[in-house]
Amino acid sequence: FLPAPNGRLVNAMRLEVIYAHRCDFVHQIWCYCDENTPLLAVVAMDREATFRWMQAKQLDPRRTDDLSATHAGHIKAAVLAQLRDVGVACGLQPWELVQAVHVVKTLGQADDDYRQLATPTFVLRRGHLKKRYEKELKVLRASLRSDAPRLAARAKAGRTSARTVDDGRRQ
| Predicted pLDDT at 161 | 38
In a domain? residue 85: yes
| Predicted pLDDT at 107 | 67
DSSP state of 21: H
| Predicted pLDDT at 167 | 38
In a domain? residue 6: yes
Q: Provide the CATH number for the domain around residue 21.
A: 3.30.300.30
In a domain? residue 168: no
Kindly report the pTM of this predicted structure.
0.71
- Helix %, strand %, coil % of the chain (to 5): 50, 20, 30
In a domain? residue 171: no
| Predicted pLDDT at 88 | 94
Q: Show Cβ contacts of residue 85 under 8 Å, excluding neighbours closer than 6 positions.
A: none
In a domain? residue 167: no
Question: What is the DSSP track for 120-162?
Answer: TT--B-HHHHHHHTHHHHHHHHHHHHHTHHHHHHHHHHHHHHS
| Predicted pLDDT at 18 | 93
| Predicted pLDDT at 171 | 37
In a domain? residue 107: yes
In a domain? residue 28: yes
Q: Decide: residue 58, CB within 10 A, 0-12 exposed, 13-18 middle, 19+ buried.
A: exposed
| Predicted pLDDT at 123 | 61
Intervals of the chain under pLDDT 50: 68, 109-111, 159-171
| Predicted pLDDT at 112 | 52
Domain containing 22: what range? 2-161
In a domain? residue 78: yes
As for how many domains the chain has, the answer is 1
